[in-house]
Amino acid sequence: MKSEMDSMSKNQVWDLVDPLEGIVPIRNKWIFKKKIGVDGKVETYKARLVAKGYRQKLGVDYEETFLPVSMLKSIRIMLAIAAHYDYEVWQMDVKTAFLNGYIEEDIFMDQPKGFESKDKSKVCKLKRSIYGLKQVSRSWNRRFDEAVKSFGFIKNEDEPCVYKKASGSMIAFLVLYVDDILLIGNDIGMLTSVKVWLSNTFSMKDLGEANYILGIRIYRDRPKRLIGLSQALYLDKVLKRFNMQDSRRGLLPVRHGIHLSKAMSPKTPEEREKMAQKVILMSRCDLEVFD
């Protein structure tokens, strides 16, 4: 919580002002989360001060809310390019990313519990985005887009979260997914300069060579120019969610890639009886697999 408030102070997120007549400030609450690492264990404990943005009104204190993110297939394509040309693949994370966005509307918020000033009658007039606001993700993306293009990056026309910077034979790609960044390029010096610029512009965490992003483990064999992706942790999470973590493996009784439609449903009594027998057979197969 102290670290979160330090970030608020460093980014000058709000000013304490006297409450205006007729203005009801939005409330806030503390949210606590655990960040899971590559090995599935708790890496860090996080505290987030979140505004109760559901009190905001469209057209009054927010407008656009859309945040573009890079598509997973775009990340896979960039990793394939990196594997083929033996590019460097580095990773960075933006600390308290949403606090970097500016807001244009007049929004007032109660003082955070546990960190009130001596004058508790004052309220916070927000100057920057804060977690929970409707427009928070939009304002962050707009701020990052303007900053990265000012450094010489060019946005991809078909993928708004993939940027490219070229200088002679040197080339660097930047892939953004909310606050996760992949840096891909063929020149260490150029990538280092991008990394230094990012650290000077935003509060960043340098994660070195990329090995885990968006819940996907990255395996790399550079001599063979191969990159492998694994979602084992995600699969384990899904299995635990449905209490199937101790189930034994088995083959599915349906071939891969089959597409079912309503037109394929049985229509006559004979077809329904035939389908019912197949359903019974498939149920028996499931019991044998998971017994």
pLDDT one-digit tens code per residue, 265-290: 888 998 888 888 877 766 555 444 44
Residue 104 is assigned to a structural domain of this protein: yes
Our CA angle for 197, 181, 204, nearest 5°, is: 50
Tally of domains within the chain: 1
Does 147 map to a domain? yes
pLDDT tens digits for 66-100?
888 889 899 999 999 999 999 999 999 998 888 88
Q: Is residue 228 part of a domain?
A: no
Asked if residue 198 lies in contact with residue 191, where contact means CB atoms within 8 angstroms, the answer is: no
Chain centre distance of CA 283? 38
Q: What is the DSSP letter of 250?
A: -
Q: How large is the average pLDDT for residues 32-55?
A: 84
**Domain membership flag for residue 40:** yes
- Is 186 a member of any domain? yes
pLDDT digits (tens, 9 = 90+) for 145-176: 999 999 999 999 899 999 999 999 999 999 99
The answer to whether 195 and 185 are in contact (CB under 8 A) is no
Write out the H or E segment, with its range, that includes residue 238.
helix 232-241
Matching residue, tokens 């987030």: 48
Amino acid at 179: D
Q: What is the pLDDT of residue 147?
A: 93
Q: Is 226 within the bounds of a domain?
A: no
Beta strands in the chain (DSSP E): 14-17, 28-36, 42-51, 88-94, 108-109, 123-126, 154-155, 162-167, 170-177, 180-185, 204-209, 212-213, 216-221, 226-230
Write out the residue range of the structural domain in which residue 20 sits. 1-214
Assess whether pLDDT exceeds 60 at residue 123.
yes
Q: Please check whether residue 253 lies inside any domain of the structure.
A: no
pLDDT the model gives residue 291: 41
Percent of the chain past pLDDT 70, that is, above it, reads 95
Ramachandran angles phi, psi of 77, nearest 5°: -65, -45
For residue 280, the surrounding DSSP H or E stretch is helix 269-290
Nearest CA to 77 among 162, 135, 13? Answer: 162
According to the model, what pLDDT value does residue 170 have?
A: 94
Q: Residue 20 above 90 pLDDT?
A: no
Q: Which phi and psi (to 5°) does residue 252 adopt?
A: -75, 140
- Residue 177 is predicted with a pLDDT of 92
pLDDT at 27 over 80: yes
- Span 201-244, pLDDT tens digits: 998 999 899 988 888 889 899 999 999 998 888 888 888 899 88
What pLDDT does 285 receive?
53
Backbone angles phi, psi at 177, to 5 degrees: -130, 90
Q: pTM of the predicted model, to two decimals?
A: 0.73
Virtual torsion, Cα 34, 40, 41, 42, nearest 10 deg: -10
Say what the pLDDT of residue 197 is: 94
Q: Which pair of structure tokens corresponds to residue 227?
A: 């990159």
Q: Is residue 243 one of the residues assigned to a domain?
A: no
Q: Judge whether residue 39 has pLDDT over 80.
A: no
Segments of 95-143 assigned E as strands: 108-109, 123-126
What values do phi and psi take at 162, rounded to 5?
-120, 125
Determine contact, residues 137/67, Cβ cutoff 8 Å: yes
Asked if 196 and 54 count as a contact pair (C-beta separation under 8 A), the reply is no
Q: Kindly report the number of other CB atoms within 10 A of residue 231's CB atom.
A: 13
CA pair distance 257, 2, nearest whole angstrom: 51
